[in-house]
Structure 1
Amino acid sequence: MKSIFNLTLLIIFSLYSCEKQDHKAEKIAKYFNSHIHKDNLVAELDFSLSDSLLFVNDIEEKIKVDLCKSPTLTGKFHLKNTEFKLPIFVLKNCQKDYDIDTGVIHINIIENDSVIIFSKKISNDIKNEIVRETKELINGKDRKSLVYLITWKNGLDSVQIKQRFYEILEGIYEYADEQSLKIYKKHISELSSKELLELNEEFVGHLSFIDYFEPVPIPPPPPPEKH
């Protein structure tokens, strides 16, 4: 009887956790949706493709547009029972000198649920690392936007890529939420439409995918300590 009771509690807790995660995903999706330009073409993001080069080529084939001329799109994908729509830059080799007046955070998704950010391997708490790097590039500078430039290692499955991508979005959202609390004394989800637009003028994170970025090598382990 006790084991049945414990199992019931575990199921209830699991359902509550999933519902809570889905609710947060909805908040994040709503925030990024506020950045969309209605005139942008919509591209379904297929994270099942083996690497970011094929990913970019697939987008170009789907929307039938020369990305060298029109790199700004609305990306769409589903995760955590939520549809995400968000503005993205899809840059090709022809756009290496594409003028983005902002700082850039390079993120390479690799195996073992890890990412590499500025040559530093992050295996857990990716969300908070995104917040930290965002603050590093924003604070004390006359800058109100960043580009999060994303590639991934060949051979990763779509579940891994989607989850890491979600954690990146979560980090951007957390930073923006901190700004919302600082300016309006309330969370993003509590802002009026007018306040949300004003917040977007204070900070916006642009997601970008490229087909020419060389993956950053995994940094070597530190040398053994001398005794």
Structure 2
Amino acid sequence: MPVSDLSSTAQDYLKLIWSATEWSATPMTVSSIAERLGVRPSTASDGIKKLVKQGLVTHAPYGSIELTDAGREHAVAMVRRHRLLETFLVQMLGYGWDEVHDEAEILEHAVSEKLIERIDQKLGHPTRDPHGDPIPTPEGHPHLPAATQLSAADTGRAVEITRISDADPQMLRYFTELGLAPDTRLFVREHRPYADVTTIRLQGRDRDIDLGASASEAIWVIAV
């Protein structure tokens, strides 16, 4: 069954389950899905039951929700659509990286596979979106880097930003003001866990920047 044959709700659920566990080992539950989608737990529970009947997820009573092979295939297809659309909106239409998530959420349900492949070709087959999230290949293979959250990065060494969470557009605008984006190089100066502060310095700059816990946890880096 093509992903386009699924309802928009089913597509949203599958994409959320996959993407939420892409960078975290925390399992998905009905309550976490309800919270992320802004729906009642009973609504989320009914949605998951439908996906179980379709053979797209497994759900142990009061336990975690896991994608089946078929569910994963559909989920990755939706993630690919979403991230290619975000990239297209930024690179070809001049959107800001803080504007594209909601637009892509709408468009991903309407576009055809033919259009997605044309967009992929037009963009030169990008491997990540404007936030650094890996764009899966048509075969469903992501390009997940060996990254760690800035909040857990070793101090006293240079790192490069590889991914920034797009969950909060206001935070993305804040990062823009600070000059933080994928490929930005910086030094991790200090972690102050009792103050929930990580101090960094951008390469080529002469002043430190203090980031709170929510900001430093939204940034993934790799050693350089």
TM-score range, shorter chain: under 0.3
TM-score, normalised relative to structure 1? 0.25
Report 1 or 2 for greater relative contact order, CA contacts < 8 Å, sequence distance ≥ 6.
1
Report the structure, 1 or 2, having the larger strand content. 1
TM-score, normalised relative to structure 2? 0.25
